Amino acid sequence: MPRGDGLLTHELDPADAGPQDACGVFGVWAPGEEVAKLTYFGLYALQHRGQESAGIAVSNGRQILVYKDMGLVSQVFDEATLESLQGEVAIGHARYSTTGASVWQNAQPTFRPTAQGSVALGHNGNLTNTHELVQLLRERTAGDPKSAQAETATTDTSVMASLFASYRDRSVEDAALEVLPKVRGAFSLVFMDETTLYGARDPQGIRPLVLGRLERGWVIASETAALDIVGASYIREIEPGEFVAIDQDGLRSSRFAEAAPKGCIFEYVYLARPDTTISEQRVFSVRERIGRKLARTAPVEADLVIPVPESGTPAAIGYAEESGIPFGHGLVKNSYVGRTFIQPSQTIRQLGIRLKLNPLRDVIAGKRLVVVDDSIVRGNTQRALVRMLREFGAAEVHVRISSPPVKWPCFYGIDFASRAELIATGLSVDEIRRSIGADSLSYVELDDLIEATNVPGDNLCRACFDGVYPIELPDDDLIGKHLLELPANGTEPLKVIQ
């Protein structure tokens, strides 16, 4: 069966890519269990975080076997493949590319041989000092005959894996503890050698990472929803700056950096599943509280509150309950159109948002609608949605957004549009309202969003809303998705070597 090329068309409007999710990682140490199948179901629960490629690495105690390919988890793996992946420890990864192209070579887990065995690594996040790490890798591998072979992967993850493997006289654990203090940016990691599962989280804890317990083992995952699906009990979050190792001697923890928490606030708005818990807060409840705040700060006379499914649903419920306006489903989402490798023809592409959403005419006709969505990036999706609702008979369309205006790109693992493409960069709220054709438009205030999370504002990264980046960024030519594929400063491309 031919594999896809990773060019997914999962946006509501194929011409208006929304904020693309960070990756999902999962790891399990459980002798006597079917660790590959546990990892498969864990990745299935994390599929929303990345749909370009998926992979699983398994060790039987003697060697690591990696299987990965382009596509969704359900497309990459079948029963026979999972049966062939036998072992006691496994890691898995569902990818959306934030550094490096969406090609097979960049699919994860990333595998490297080491002097004492091998290492497989999965990464959620995005590094900001990749150029420094490449130079360090060049220095460490200078004079090594194996370094003459150029690595085809072009990701910050491949740089980390190669650095872990470059310490010939050290174990993977010792090498990681040497490398991690030198790494900057967002990274929630699961990795493994032949016998041990490891997890690590950057000092800011920008991306989530949690620890769970099985009856006969341990689990590390991006979200608590992945623990639930495999029957693991939630123990705690991996702390910012923490390194954990799990093997036959149990779990041990150490710290490679002091914690300076700056969790991503956009996880609460959009990225995480609503049934996930972050910082002891159920994401669904946070989004519902955001909707209530929107109803208080941006009231309007209307007949019906409808969400843009599914990310707008909890906030729409909160808005309806607080305002007293009835909640209803005025849009039906086709969850499968677009989750495919078949690219739509130009004729079908012109249907735009109708590939994904279909209005219920008898529900919305003649009604004054409050439409709740999670964010506006370029505005194309909302413009098409408002037009479609009017075509189906809506009397008024009032748009309410459960995040502040997105004005700044993310360099920590979310692939937003560039700043020049963000509609909120150059337009006022009223200008955006006119652009999308709504009768009214309101966003939640940043202070209200922070309050809804029940997390201190100083412990949250809000850079996409306020432009304050908690981790220093390098010069523009030393950061970006294709850094390792393009020449830097007029020199040779920053190729990773193995």
Q: Name the β-bridge partners of 70.
A: 53
CA atoms of 97 and 331, how far apart (whole Å)? 30
Residue 331: which residues within 8 A CB-CB, separation 6 or more? Answer: 306, 307, 308, 309, 357, 358, 359, 360
CA atoms within 13 A on the CB side of 490: 0
Residue 123: which residues within 8 A CB-CB, separation 6 or more? Answer: 23, 25, 93, 108, 110, 155, 156, 157, 160, 187, 188, 189
Q: Name the β-bridge partners of 112.
A: 119
Q: Name the β-bridge partners of 369.
A: 304, 397
The rounded Cα 472 to chain-centroid distance in angstroms is 21
Query: Which H or E run contains 25?
Result: strand 24-29
Q: Are 308 and 371 in contact (CB under 8 A)?
A: yes
End-to-end CA distance of the chain: 32
Neighbours of 217 (CB within 10 A): 21
Phi, psi of 206 (to 5 degrees): -65, -45
Active site residues: 23
Q: Are 469 and 272 in contact (CB under 8 A)?
A: no
Point out the annotated binding site for [4Fe-4S] cluster: 264, 410, 461, 464
Point out the annotated binding site: 264, 311, 373-374, 410, 461, 464
